[in-house]
Structure 1
């Protein structure tokens, strides 16, 4: 059948790269042979089910609960108990049961039909979204289906209805045979042409199982992997770009001298606490040396590193330690690669045989890797004969090293305690730090990127992707930022870059379509060298920028995607423009995967001419793309270093040996990644460069040439000369722009008027001049104006706030118009910018501390994104729009609040009015960490893709409730659709197509009013931080109601009834001494009170009841006062109804129940008296029942209220099912 794929294709390519151990293969061989020997065609299905269970348990599934479940033959759970969800569903058949066993020619056999029934029971009845695979097997033949394939079958509403009718015995028979023949069989028949499955027969492997050979063992690798929990349960694996290797990460932190800790809900990284510090860790050893050598006094503007000596020492030591560790990790990858190329450990150099002390490491950095082989000292040549010259600034002394210490300054007689969970095998409790570091690195496998073979010892794979996540994690040490999973960066780059490539081809060729598939057809048969060169040039003209580049993850993903695009278009060529045709190149798991014509991973062999051609071509492509297309900026110098390192690592992967036997040197790509504050610039991007170009000996072409000379410099001298020329050009631009600066023009105008007036005094005499009071007053004002403008100019020139300013106007000549110098902008702006509120506490900690002067500048430069308390992500999104070229694209993953909250309303309207939303991928907040995009962060996020131009009225919305991109249940929205449901705020809902249709219908109803027009929703009057001194345990004081005490139609007064905190009271007299606000009067009024914080995943987001006065509310509550416009009980009934909960859930994106969101709820203006009285009667009855017995079941009464409310909004039964989540 066309849907059949072999094992290699079904396995994740990144997982294929992971080596299996000899122990794993031998265990598979032993247990599989044992199972096959016990197979008996005469025995029952139960007998063979037992054999299979034993085999699975003994090989790899001991940690997982495995048993029958209801009528299902065998279920492998996702956890160790039966309470965990079902992960793999298995239907077992006897080997000679040909009638019921699925075949490659006919999937639609009873075995498959049974699987469908079991799947429906799990998905629909159990609400299990964690089914990974389904299997039909007779122990020899195996049919393995990804659960997504069954989703293709059950997506039909008709099948779901039949299944529900069958389960509820509403059909003519409740026999399963009816379901199999009349329901399952037709459904499978319709879908089977679309179903993909893996099929294999153990008989084909039996000879390899029973007789060990090298070839046979290699065949068993795929069998071991296809049957492993990693594949069948979709577990994260060692080289998974979505999962942090916590063991490697934690021990590396220990060696550096860092630890991870939690503060205010965030995981931060910092210096170990006093008492836990190890004198011989990198950081502590560096601090000791910096102090003893009095190096702090040599640092200019040392306050950059902290407010006091301790902070300064730590931050200096941290930057040095990260510089050293970056170099060492890079060298470990280099060493592993060279050893693999030559298949000999003689090429290893990063060990205590060659590097015995820190002096040797310093020598390796600066006298080996930074110096050409021919220029090395004789002793160096003998000691490191196989270490190449790299020509990378990574191995040049940094300015900080020059001002402070080198790694050679660290003492060699060190004894670092081993990490409590160390991977190093040793009886010692302590070890020399350098020896410890090398043994730690040797405990991992850096070398098996392209090896599908068997390892004699078990080593966890550490590749560039895994290191990248670790870099990202360490990189966010200050603010608790988190790494972006590979599936996110891969998806964002794919969606955005492909659009931009299509746009480039439309602009530069005669291609005329918006579809990438059409572009593939357009270039498919390209064979002329001129066309191949032109098409490559078209793609190479892309300019991609990450303005908060961090560790460079997005740029690496972009690099991989561009190469994959060229391969898909058939235009990926070597330097002679000969296409690389015999390779399958794509991106999977956020890695560039290169397979040869046999489906095996490409492995570089310098002695093979075709291998040499491909390796050289890939290196050249990566170099061209990095140099021409990828740009980044970050305020953190450590981030900049790490980003550069990651790009060098990507080049290193395809480093090749030249004809002289030397490894190709690395270009100076560091110039594309710059350090600075992206949000602060002296000069706007539309500043006039015209005069600067006219009055200068330089032009944009010269500037670009100087940058190219820097990249191609082969030694330090050439590099320094290029650096000087670049700096001279930028200095001239500074002078030229300054001459046309609007502030200076303003000063000239003021000064001219001042001079004109004062010269009149000299002309007509001072006495007469002084008698003109208007003139004198004007001169005084002009004097004051000149003083203020001079202060502004001085601040621009030398102010502290501009110390790290980044001048987008001219830092990247690649995005400047070559003739006019105008800022053309980037084709793509992409990234995951900083989140957090400026100078506002979040989780008891200031999220982002920003100077008031900086905020003033930011508000001036980004007015549409500066409403209310400023969130950094809004400013970065606005910046991205400014930096985008005409027709350019921007894609960022940011908190979803930017699409819903009031402070972002102006930015939303700005985008709708002047740009275009294209796609939105929403990820609502999840309680389950495994279903979150950012595992450690519980927040709603969204990927937002926009275009600088007004190109589309529609945008596409998808909502993902899992750690994946939702490809189904997407729909298009227009600006008008948004306005219908949110005319004032332009709130974009989190909804499926079905939910949006119901939402639109609700809002289309005439005579609706906002709840806030009846009574504004306010926050409780008692701020629990400021009112702490007035809070008591004295029951004689006034009751203080907290949000946790409020539920639907009830208040919890018993300590045992609340999930957290305690019941407290308020000393009103003491409280009133500190609180003078008007809201205190509301404590003596009857109020509807609401819980102020409810989980996004909770069934009911709105939880409200009525409280009688007097009662004081904590600021974790919201409330409405009785304005008599509608009966209070009716309002309460509406708020607690399923309809308004549905509306609120679709439009709210965080766990906060914000007052403005409650105010926006749509309620009918005119409710007939009968309905009002019925709702009022039911609400009052529920309140009375709950007052007597809080545990009483009032669901029947609540259901009656819901029915009345459904009628108010004219909802059909199908729409009610959607509101209630039954669709």
Structure 2
């Protein structure tokens, strides 16, 4: 309700500013000043005194009546809302009534207050993402009588809504509500001819009918009957599927095609809104699928933005494009992550196809709205030639500071990005100065994606408490480690475990070590991890087998019994990250600054919080050379300006953010120099973690800057931002 109340007061304020705030006779309120403070209307007279209603004063009565009816007009004709939560709908209706109550007045010559109008009908409950009827669907395939029925119902519905809004008599109001419900039921009884499941049902039904009338005297009757039974059974199945969909998916569907008659023409065609504003919910696909698996399937069928590990807010942006007029504007408070995240590919495709992104104010890591999600203000408008982009460089501690910024910022403060340069691949959005440096970097011949053959996450067991062993000690051919599952120390054969790293174990340039191990029920053969048979584990690793048997019930019960398979109940949930025994770089997924380290012999396995980086066979440079670049200030600056912000200066270090990083040609001399400097840092850290090696890192940064041909001005900008 807050959005609509704010919009109401803003529109009244704008009418006052434009000199078109007038009383019922058309006379403007020119001796009054209207302002907004904390979303509240503040009315003062020409002397600066606050307005206070006095029904005994003619001028005061005129002002009070004017604000009441102006608010009523805006609420009834300009503001519409939809929410899936009925309580939110009631709260919004109540808040709008309260806004009217602030300016209700006594009827002339009486002690009776003006009756509040029926403004509740514009605020409705439903799932705004799901509709039975297409907004711009072609219903010409419906029988003519049904088309005429739709048109009559639409006209009658519009008349009843107008009647309801001006109705004061309770009995007539009740009757009008019943008429509206009856007309909506008429819409609900009409099947949507564009629905895929409805079409399939009717196609098979038509075949069944045709077959029923096709029997010839010389035809095999048994065969004919069998075919008829098959067609009738299939017809019944498809009809039941369609009817079930109506009861489930469409039980709280919101029918934009007729719910708001104010945006329909006389023939019932949807015209569209001038503006759509909102703060859509943030919910990842995993949450939707866990709670509403069939609804997730439906969303994926309906929305092109349902790509990858999508977030539901993308659907609201896509849906809104069909709700506004061709010149309409959409303004959302929502995460900016879709612009450069893998899951945003679908929405980026929808947006770029329509050239529909016009402005973004990215809040970055600043929590402007006291939310845990990193958001921004985003404007969408079809056929936009440019995207205006601005990223905050400071936090706003009060709403007043934020409002002042939003009211004073101009297009000159934004970096202009041609819409033609945006596509479905990830977007790099920054201000002009940063973009010029990024352009320099992008002149390099290679990308990090050309260097690494594989960038992989660590192992996913789906039951770490069983597989992970802590505070381990080695004793001959065994390791002794603490099992969280059993809450005791257990003994396992060395051949059934691997050294295990977690994100906290990996730091820049440090020699890798760990006292954790993971039970690894696989044997490596021909570059492939093959699950041991149960008999092999029992024979070769008796201590390990006894331990796994003690945890068998838990392992079989993982993921709702998916691993309740004889002979395989001890396998991991997926095989990714099993081929870790190879030379590689490793780094935690979430990091503050580059934290790349070098696993020379491929000794270590890791959890899913770490990524491993394996070079392509034709890349000649040494791993240490790339470790120096990935731990440099320049790489971190690139990630800060192109990656996904987390709290307290942390960022995600994932393949889709690393692969675009440009890589220059590196001479043998420069490569050797970088290796020597890396070796010095590693040696110092081995001797004493407290020794200062910052001077060597500065030498590495200077070399890296030189490789990319950056100017002193560029370097100063990078250093100031990272320092």
What's the TM-score, normalizing by structure 1?
Answer: 0.49
Relative distance call for 1:848 and 1:763 in structure 2 (3 A) is closer
> Residues 693 and 1183 (structure 1 numbering): CA distance in 2 closer, same or farther, change over 3 Å?
same
- Distance of 1:776 and 1:1184 partners within structure 2: 86
Q: Report the 3-state secondary structure (helix = DSSP H, G, I; strand = E; otherwise coil) of the residue aligned with 1:865.
A: coil
Check 1:781–1:892 CA distance in 2 against 1; reply closer, same or farther (3 A cut).
Answer: farther
CA–CA distance in structure 2, aligned partners of residues 636 and 743 of structure 1: 28
> How has the CA–CA distance of structure 1 residues 1136 and 978 changed in structure 2, closer, same or farther, with 3 Å as cutoff?
farther
Give runs of aligned pairs for residues 334-373 of structure 1, distance below 5 A: none
Query: Equivalent residues in 2 for 1:266-345 (5 A)?
Result: none
Match of 2:628 among 1117, 1125, 1133: 1133
Equivalent positions of 1:1037-1052 (< 5 A) are 1037=479, 1038-1050=498-510
Partner of 2:299: 858
Choose the corresponding residue for 2:703, options 1198, 1204, 1211: 1204
Query: Which residue does 2:132 correspond to in 1?
Result: 682
Q: Map 1:1146-1161; keep pairs closer than 5 Å.
A: 1146-1151=641-646, 1153-1161=652-660
Partner of 1:1118: 611
- Which of 920, 940, 958 is the aligned partner of 2:360? 920
In the alignment, the residues of structure 2 paired with residue 715 and residue 1185 of structure 1 have an alpha-carbon distance, to the nearest angstrom, of 87
| Cα pair distance change 1:1146/1:1025, threshold 3 Å | farther
In 1, Cα distance between equivalents of 2:237 and 2:462:
43
Describe the SS at the equivalent of 1:1089: strand
CA contact (8 A) 2:458 2:578 kept: no
CA RMSD in angstroms comes to 2.8
CA distance, structure 2, for counterparts of residue 781 and residue 953 of structure 1? 58
Structure 2 portions without partners, runs of 5+? 397-401, 480-497, 522-543, 549-567
Deviation (angstroms), 1:918? 1.0
Q: Deviations over 1:816-854 (max 9, x none)?
A: 112x211112211111111121334xxxxxx78542221
Instruction: Verify: 1:944 aligned to 2:378, yes or no.
Output: yes
- Aligned pair 1:767/2:260, yes or no? no
- Counterparts in 2 of 1:776 and 1:1135: CA distance versus 1, 3 Å: farther
- Pair 1:1050–1:601, CA change in 2 (3 A): farther
Cα distance 1:583–1:874, how it changes in 2: closer, same or farther (>3 A)?
A: same
Tell me how far 1:1024 sits from its aligned partner: 7.8
For residues 1049 and 740 of structure 1, the distance between their equivalents in structure 2, rounded to whole angstroms, comes to: 61
- Asked if residue 757 in structure 1 is aligned to residue 217 in structure 2, the reply is no
What's 2:162 paired with? 708
Give the 3 Å change call, closer, same or farther, for CA 583–962 of structure 1 in structure 2: same
Judge conservation of contact 1:922–1:960 (CA < 8 Å) in 2: no
1:664 alignment partner in structure 2: 114
| Structure 2 residue 448 is the aligned partner of structure 1 residue 1010 | yes
Q: Deviations over 1:863-882 (max 9, x none)?
A: x2111233121112112122
| Shift of residue 752, structure 1, vs aligned partner | 2.5
- Cα 1:643–1:1222 change in 2 (3 A) is closer
Could you tell me how far 1:1182 is from its partner in structure 2? 1.4
* Structure 1 counterpart SS, 2:23: coil
**SS of the counterpart of 2:53?**
coil
Q: Structure 1 pair 571/857, CA: closer, same or farther in 2 (3 Å)?
A: same
For residues 334 and 101 of structure 2, what CA distance do their matches in structure 1 show?
A: 32
Other-structure match for 1:791: 240
Out of 260, 263, 281, the position equivalent to 1:812 is: 260
Q: What is the Cα deviation at residue 1086 of structure 1?
A: 2.4
- Distance in 1 (alpha carbons) for counterparts of 2:420 and 2:446: 18
User: What corresponds to 2:533 in structure 1?
Assistant: none
Residues 295-350 of structure 1: per-residue CA shift (max 9 Å, x gap): xxxxxxxxxxxxxxxxxxxxxxxxxxxxxxxxxxxxxxxxxxxxxxxxxxxxxxxx
Work out the CA distance in 1 between the residues paired with 2:271 and 2:227.
43
Looking at structure 1, the residues matched to 627 and 225 of structure 2 have their Cα atoms a distance apart, in angstroms, of 67
Match of 1:515 in 2: none
Answer yes or no: is 1:1001 the counterpart of 2:440: yes
C-alpha distance in structure 2 between counterparts of 1:1111 and 1:884, whole Å: 55
Q: CA deviation at 1:1081?
A: 4.5
Whether the 8 Å contact between 1:1045 and 1:1051 is mirrored in structure 2 is: no
Structure 2 residue 271 is matched with structure 1 residue 824? yes
Deviation at 1:619, TM superposition (A): 0.6
SS in 2 for 1:1015: strand
Specify which structure has the higher proportion of helix: 1
Match of 1:906 in 2: 346
Matched, 1:1085 2:578: no
- Whether the aligned pair in 1 keeps the contact of 2:460 and 2:573 (CA below 8 Å) is no
In structure 2, which of residues 1, 6, 13 is the aligned counterpart of residue 564 of structure 1? 13
> Contact 2:461 / 2:572 at 8 angstroms: preserved in 1?
no
- Residue 688 of structure 1, CA deviation: 4.6
Contact 2:318 2:350 in 1 (8 A): no
Task: After superposition, give the CA deviation of every residue in 1:38-63 in whole Å (9 maximum; x if it has no partner).
Answer: xxxxxxxxxxxxxxxxxxxxxxxxxx
Q: Residues of 2 paired with 1:757 and 1:1120: CA distance?
A: 63
Change (3 A) 1:839 1:1156: same
* 1:627 aligned counterpart, secondary structure: helix
Question: Any idea what SS the aligned residue of 1:602 has?
Answer: coil
Aligned-residue offset at 1:655: 1.1
Pair 1:839 & 2:331 matched: no
User: Offset at 1:1053?
Assistant: 5.8
Following TM superposition, by how much is the alpha carbon of 1:652 offset from its aligned partner in structure 2, in angstroms? 1.0
- C-alpha separation in 1, matches of 2:133 and 2:151: 22
What does residue 36 of structure 1 align with? none
Change (3 A) 1:916 1:777: farther
* Contact 1:1023–1:1115 (8 Å) recurs in 2: no
For 2:315 and 2:307, locate their aligned partners in 1 and report how far apart those are by CA, in whole Å: 10
The residue aligned with 1:870 is 310
Match of 2:590, SS state, is coil
Once residues 1016 and 976 of structure 1 are traced to their aligned partners in structure 2, the CA distance between those partners, rounded to angstroms, is: 32
Instruction: Please give the alpha-carbon distance, in whole angstroms, between the structure 1 residues aligned to 2:643 and 2:114.
Output: 54
1: CA distance between counterparts of 2:133 and 2:645?
37
| Aligned residue in 1 for 2:714 | 1215
How far does residue 1027 in structure 1 lie from its aligned partner after superposition?
Answer: 5.2
Q: Within 1, Cα distance between the matches of 2:231 and 2:576?
A: 47
Aligned positions, number: 632
SS at match of 1:972: strand
In 1: Cα distance, 2:19 partner to 2:197 partner: 53
What are the ranges of 5 or more consecutive residues in structure 1 without an aligned counterpart?
A: 1-551, 841-846, 927-931, 1055-1062
1:952-978 CA distance string (max 9 Å, x none): 234333435313347375211123555
Looking at structure 1, the residues matched to 228 and 676 of structure 2 have their Cα atoms a distance apart, in angstroms, of 76
User: In the alignment, which residue of structure 2 is the partner of 1:593?
Assistant: 42
Matches within 5 A, 1:315-714: 552-659=1-108, 660-688=110-138, 692=146, 694-695=148-149, 698=152, 700-714=154-168
Deviations 1:430-459 (A, max 9, x none): xxxxxxxxxxxxxxxxxxxxxxxxxxxxxx
Report if the CA contact (8 A) 2:509-2:597 is conserved: yes
SS at match of 1:823: coil
